[in-house]
Structure 1
Amino acid sequence: MPRILAENVSLVHPLFVGRNQTVEFQGSDKFVRNRAGRPIGVKALRDVSFEFSEGSRVGLIGANGSGKTTLLRVLAGILPPDEGVVTIEGRSTNLININLGTKADASGHRNITLQALASGYSREEIESKRREIVEFSELGDFLELPVNTYSAGMRMRLSFAIATAFEPEILLLDEWLSAGDIDFKRKASKRMASFIDRAGVLVLASHSKAMLEENCERAIWLDEGIIRADGPVKEVFAEYQKEKSTD
């Protein structure tokens, strides 16, 4: 049974400020300071707690810099929290940066193996999906070449095909993905819809009201790393938009 439990999670991003630089901010509690009072870190997440169980469809909303992507990276195991505990039960698939882990000097076929192994799949599982990945990527003989010979769009096609080939238990998604030309984007969008439907737990960070309401039932509003609201997606988004309109 897939499950995510976050207990009092906090994370500080180091802040490197030159002697002649100044930092503009609202409220002194946003920064970690040294003894001289200079800011040395930004509090990206502050005492964040929640639980997602099987069937959860959760949207993360908030302004740019509110902590949405940072939280996804913590849940994906890319960033360790400075305080608190994250417990993940089930296999996690993240589409935050699907090119992460690509080995540029290895062939496309080798990257299929390496990226899938890194995601926890067995060689038997990988080989059972290889033909599907090859066909969906539409890269053909280019898969015999090193990935560093690919265009950005070709890399995205390969990584997208790998990431979406396996049955997701926990799916972490940052906005919607761009994956190549118009025809491929249309095909990728259709595949993504099916991918989301099959996920045991979905956590989607987005600014799109339509996307959140279509795919999520619950929303968490992050504001400077703090949970401002957690509840039904329409109610939380309405509260968020109301505050935005009064800024």
Structure 2
Amino acid sequence: MASIELTDVSVSFPVYSASTRSLKNRLMQSATGGQIRADAGGNRISVVEALQNINLSLRDGERVGLIGHNGAGKTTLLRVLGGIYEPNCGRVALQGSTVPLFDISLGMDQESTGYENIMLRGLFLGLTRRQIRAQMDEIAEFTELGDFLNLPIRTYSAGMQMRLAFAISTSVAPDILLLDEGIGTSDAAFLQKAGERLQRFTEQVSIIVLSSHDDELISSMCEKSVLMEHGQIIAAGPTEDILSEYRAKYGLSCIASGRSIITP
């Protein structure tokens, strides 16, 4: 069974040559989620504390929303769960296969063809060559890229690359799915098709962690949510309670809805 267990997880990033810019540091701290402090070693380095003492426990069947202002730490937390960022301290324990859909182009090579990238991205996601070959025709058909799949993807438009990456990433459902509402496309004809595929895909997943500013999306997908601020989880509970707390805290009547291929 799938599970996620984070214990006292913290992530910080050094910012070199910034310690002397006190005014800029104060402005940055007011506009970003992480706390900024001087390096304890006296090396004139500023440190952005992106996550601080995160404790999170998720079990099979849970769908959890990450709520908070820009820079609250939601993306950093997703990247920790996806294995992209290594915590400075604390423990991350994930049981089950994990797919991040917040950066679907990871593991793709601009000089390789579309077909070669199906293999590369599939291997990056943990699939075997046999599994990828079994899905190859279905992925190719879904992209609607035709003969372009024989060309290097550097010749593709941004929309074409998105189609290919999305088709590969949603070909086999993982145990744990990490979602960001930023996945989207300006291609209106592809939007509905992608949304329907993603909905079927998410129904097969054991655990979903979704970062979003869209209250309708969060409410439709997640029974439970956490509220993040300055790299910390400040509240957790039923989604409607957390949304109400978020609106009250920031004086919002609602959270703006944005265009996304993720559909309720």
TM bucket normalised to smaller: over 0.9
Provide the alpha-carbon RMSD of the alignment. 1.7
Q: Give the aligned length.
A: 244
* Kept after mapping to 1: 8 A contact 2:39/2:47: no
Which residue number in structure 2 is paired with residue 4 of structure 1? 4
Does the 8 Å contact 1:59/1:212 carry over to 2? yes
Shift of 1:161: 0.2
Q: TM-score, normalised by structure 2?
A: 0.88
Which residue matches 1:16? 16
Q: Distance in 1 between matches of 2:240 and 2:201?
A: 23
Displacement after TM superposition at 1:94 (Å)? 0.7
Please name the residue that 1:187 is paired with: 193
Match status 1:60 vs 2:66: yes
Aligned pair in 2 of structure 1 residues 38, 63: CA closer, same or farther (>3 Å)? farther
> Deviations 1:104-128 (Å, cap 9, x if unpaired)?
1001000000110111111111111
- Residue number among 161, 170, 173 corresponding to 1:167 in the alignment: 173
- Name the residue aligned to 2:142: 136
What is the Cα deviation at residue 37 of structure 1?
A: 9.2
Q: In the superposition, relative to structure 1, how do residues 2 and 150 fare at CA in structure 2: closer, same or farther (>3 Å)?
A: same
> Please, which runs of 5 or more residues in structure 2 have no aligned partner?
253-264
Aligned 8 A contact 1:172 1:204 in 2: yes
Shift of 1:203: 0.2
Q: Structure 1 unaligned segments of length 5 or more: list them.
A: none
Q: Give the alignment of 1:71-82 within 5 angstroms.
A: 71-82=77-88
C-alpha deviation, 1:102, in angstroms = 1.1
- Counterpart of 1:227 in structure 2 is 233
Residues 73-125 of structure 1: per-residue CA shift (max 9 Å, x gap) = 00000000001011111010110111122111001000000110111111111
Give me the identity figure in percent: 39
Displacement of 1:168 in angstroms is: 2.2
**Which range is displaced more, 166-175 or 55-64?**
166-175
| TM-score, normalised relative to structure 1 | 0.94
Give the superposition deviation at 1:17.
4.2
**Aligned-partner Cα distance in 2 for 1:195–1:14:** 38
CA distance in 2, matches of 1:113, 1:32: 44
Asked if the contact 1:69–1:205 (Cα under 8 Å) also holds between the matched residues in 2, the reply is: yes
Q: Say whether 1:101 aligns with 2:107.
A: yes
Runs of 4 or more above 3 Å deviation? 16-21, 35-39
CA distance in 1, matches of 2:153, 2:132: 19
User: Is residue 179–residue 188 contact of structure 1 (8 Å, CA) maintained in 2?
Assistant: no
The residue number in structure 1 matching 2:222 is 216
